[in-house]
Chains A and B, each alone.
Chain A
């Protein structure tokens, strides 16, 4: 499926690096999400955007900085990360954040912080 794409698929970065994850949805949806999934743990919702406005920020450290320039694109800017930030980062979109809408997920970016 190519409804939600993420780049890069794999990323290795040092703790002093700055990198960005990119997500693009081709479904015409108005809501986009960032999730973190650490090894053998459930998905953790990080950020929610609705019509390019951030509507949810689940106590995420400031070293993660989201950006939503339009309803089709979502970025996650990373800086000064810690080894425990190594995880699968998943982007998702949905028609709306309201009731009755399922989310469509991208393939994820596997991030390793060294």
Chain B
């Protein structure tokens, strides 16, 4: 299983763009990269998934360099409600491991 490394915590202010980077040096050829958001006492919620290059949806963008050894989740113009833990997972749904995640705190 590919091990992931993320910053433990990040602070930001409302309206700013936030970029959270995840390292996954031993990613396998067929592994996908998936990001989840979790609020306290709730189940994680899917944000975005990608395999290579760039993926964008209505809430975030995911940038994956050519070597795929890292990925960056980009949240445009964050608000207070984006304060949560963000997890990067590598692998398939049945074998992915949730790491410690990144606690993002958005301040007014």
Contacts and interface: CB of A to CB of B under 8 A. Distances in A.
B49 interface: yes
Interface in B9-40: 30-32, 34, 36
Contact of B94 (A43, A50, A107): A50
Interface residues on B, range: 20 to 34
A96 B93 contact: yes
Given A42-B100, A97-B92, A103-B93, A90 B31 contact: no
Nearest to A90: B43
Contact of A43 (B44, B49, B91): B44
A50 B95 CA distance: 12
Contact of B41 (A96, A97, A101, A108): A108
A100 B32 contact: yes
Given A42-B101, A99-B32, A100-B32, A105 B94 contact: no
> Which of B93, B100, B101 has its CB near the most chain A CB atoms (within 10 A)?
B93
Contacts of A35: 98
Contacts of B72: none
Say what secondary structure dominates the interface of chain B.
loop
B92 A98 contact: yes
Interface string A18-43: 00000000000001010100000011
Given A45-B97, A100-B49, A88 B92 contact: no
14 contacts: A35-B98, A42-B98, A45-B98, A50-B94, A55-B94, A56-B95, A90-B43, A90-B44, A99-B31, A99-B91, A100-B51, A105-B45, A106-B43, A110-B41
Contacts of A94: 93-94
Contacts of B96: 45
